């Protein structure tokens, strides 16, 4: 195999004849298909298993690493310079250990150069318990994923370079993968929360939430990004966040003007086992519903459609999506490895958005109901404001 392009001395891929770790290697990526890539470790020490995906965004690496939708995944950043602006507590999308288990980058992380930085990326990863590996040919790895699909793998970091490759390989091969896995319950909050705070502004931080006179939105947390709640508040809602497994009666008891279905990780069919009956009940009661990402897939399943595992998924901040009603193109942020199968949409469910990359479904609306959803993340603002109208449309319909 060809050596990866590194910022310093190359570290070869594949095992050495004597089974030893190559010189200067303090981290390794072991794929279930037998491929091995050596690099330099940073962040937490140890090893973690997950599905390797790639993200094409040039910025927002801290938001990516703390997005609960990346639970069970190892993120390959295609942009070569990751970590340069450091990290900031205000840029967290979740707290605790939710999010990706590790990351793969090409260049070594340099000292942060940003006035908002509070900690360098490596130290921050260590505190978060997440593993990083640099010195990897991320272009070749991304190409590998595009050709062969997202593989299961183990990422490992040991400052002494002491690795049991056979054991790591066994772990990668024995991991069941994301298909059939319900991860929403593992990253959802444990109790109800009255959300406080709107969007962030330079010099002010997060602005205040709405008062009690605004429409009350109950947001079901399947692994939500905090910025979604901030955008709901910006659009004029009071928000109560509830855990993923909250029942229909408990939601109705909160007297919502509308219900929001959040993003989240894992197989939508698995999460749907408990989420779909709740959403069907909301639709039967004519409660307005708006869903994003996994929430979009949950609404589609409740309406009678099916979901499928994608070959490589969509992850990045440059995904063009066409709004079918007027052919307007939105530049969107995406993070999903499953998709709604448009061919299974039943009568009464209208496709509203499609991906211009591969034609996959990116939005639906249910005829006769105030219920709609999109596959992408309008709160991530890559356009930068192409999709904020969705929050305004939902909250505005509740007044």
Tell me the per-residue pLDDT of 147-181, one tens digit each, with 9 for 90 and over.
999 999 999 999 999 999 999 999 999 999 999 99
Mean pLDDT over each residue of the chain, to the nearest integer = 92
From the number of C-beta atoms within 10 Å of its C-beta (0-12, 13-18, 19+), residue 65 rates as buried
E strands, the chain, are 27-31, 36-43, 46-55, 73-77, 102-104, 131-134, 152-157, 193-194, 200-201, 205-206, 216-221, 238-243, 258-261, 289-292, 307-323, 328-340, 349-355, 361-366, 371-374
Question: What is the structure's pLDDT at 1?
Answer: 33
The answer to the question of residue 14 being in a domain is no
Q: Look up the domain containing 90 and give its range.
A: 27-174
Q: In the chain, how many domains are there?
A: 2
Is the same domain home to 208 and 353? Answer: yes
Is the same domain home to 373 and 248? Answer: yes
* Catalytic residue annotation: 293, 377, 379
pLDDT at 342 over 80: yes
Is the same domain home to 74 and 219? Answer: no
Is the same domain home to 193 and 131? Answer: no
The answer to the question of residue 297 being in a domain is yes
User: Final residue of a domain: which of 119, 144, 174?
Assistant: 174
Is the same domain home to 308 and 390? Answer: yes
- Alpha-carbon distance of 46 to 261, in angstroms, equals 35
User: Final residue of a domain: which of 148, 174, 200?
Assistant: 174
User: Final residue of a domain: which of 156, 174, 192?
Assistant: 174
- Alpha-carbon distance of 160 to 177, in angstroms, equals 29
Q: Which tops the pLDDT comparison, 308 or 399?
A: 308
The answer to the question of residue 12 being in a domain is no
The answer to the question of residue 198 being in a domain is yes
Is the same domain home to 128 and 240? Answer: no
CB of 309 within 8 A of CB of 179?
A: yes
Is the same domain home to 235 and 344? Answer: yes
CB of 61 within 8 A of CB of 82?
A: yes
Kindly indicate the confidence band of residue 292, based on its pLDDT and cuts at 50, 70 and 90: very high
Q: 145-154, 182-191, 205-214, 253-262: which range is least confident on average?
A: 205-214
- Alpha-carbon distance of 68 to 385, in angstroms, equals 23
Question: What is the structure's pLDDT at 71?
Answer: 96
For helices 226-234 and 389-396, angle between their N-to-C axes, nearest 10 degrees = 60
Is the same domain home to 158 and 232? Answer: no
pLDDT at 387 over 70: yes
Q: Report the relative pairing of strands 131-134 and 102-104 from DSSP bridges.
A: parallel
E strands, 246-370, are 258-261, 289-292, 307-323, 328-340, 349-355, 361-366
Taking residues 54-61, report their average pLDDT. Answer: 94
Helix (H, G, I), strand (E, B) or coil at 263: coil
Is the same domain home to 227 and 286? Answer: yes
Kindly indicate the confidence band of residue 359, based on its pLDDT and cuts at 50, 70 and 90: very high
Taking residues 132-159, report their average pLDDT. Answer: 97
Distance of CA 31 to the CA centre of its chain: 21
pLDDT at 76 over 50: yes
pLDDT tens, position by position, 14-36: 544 345 678 889 999 999 999 99
């Amino acid at each position: 195999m060809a050596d990866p392009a590194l910022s310093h001395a190359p570290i070869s891929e594949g095992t050495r004849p004597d089974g030893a770790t190559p010189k200067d290697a303090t981290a390794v990526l072991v794929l279930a298909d037998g491929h091995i890539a050596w690099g330099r470790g940073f962040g937490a020490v140890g090893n973690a298993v997950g599905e390797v995906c790639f993200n094409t965004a040039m910025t927002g690496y801290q938001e990516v690493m703390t997005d609960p939708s990346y639970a069970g995944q190892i993120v390959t950043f295609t942009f070569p310079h990751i970590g340069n602006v450091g990290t900031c507590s205000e840029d967290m999308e979740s707290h605790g250990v939710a999010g990706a288990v590790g990351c793969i980058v090409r260049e070594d992380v340099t000292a942060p150069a940003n006035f908002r930085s509070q900690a360098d990326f490596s130290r921050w990863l260590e505190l978060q318990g997440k593993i990083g590996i640099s010195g990897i040919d991320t272009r070749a790895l991304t190409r590998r994923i595009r050709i062969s699909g997202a593989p299961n793998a183990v990422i490992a970091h040991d400052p002494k370079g002491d690795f049991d490759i056979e054991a790591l390989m066994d772990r990668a091969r024995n991991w069941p993968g994301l298909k059939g896995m319900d991860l929403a319950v593992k990253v959802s909050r444990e109790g109800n929360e009255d959300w406080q705070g709107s969007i962030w502004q330079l010099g002010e931080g997060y602005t205040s939430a709405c008062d009690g006179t605004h429409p009350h939105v109950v947001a079901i947390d399947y692994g939500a990004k905090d910025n979604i709640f901030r955008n709901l508040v910006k659009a004029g809602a009071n928000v109560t966040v509830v855990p993923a497994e909250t029942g229909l009666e408990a939601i109705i008891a909160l007297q919502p003007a509308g219900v929001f279905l959040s993003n989240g990780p894992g197989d939508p069919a698995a999460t749907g086992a408990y989420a779909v009956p709740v959403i069907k009940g909301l639709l039967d009661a004519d409660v307005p519903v708006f869903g994003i990402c996994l929430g979009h897939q949950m609404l589609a399943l409740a309406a009678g459609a099916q979901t499928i595992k994608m070959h490589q998924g969509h992850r990045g901040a440059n995904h063009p999506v066409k709004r079918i009603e007027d052919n307007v193109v939105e530049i969107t942020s995406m993070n999903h490895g499953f998709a709604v199968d448009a061919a299974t949409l039943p009568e009464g469910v209208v496709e509203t958005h499609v991906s211009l990359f591969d034609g996959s479904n990116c939005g639906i609306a249910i005829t006769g109901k105030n219920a709609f959803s999109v596959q992408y993340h309008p709160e991530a603002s890559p356009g930068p404001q192409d999709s904020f109208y969705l929050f305004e449309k939902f909250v505005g319909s509740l007044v």
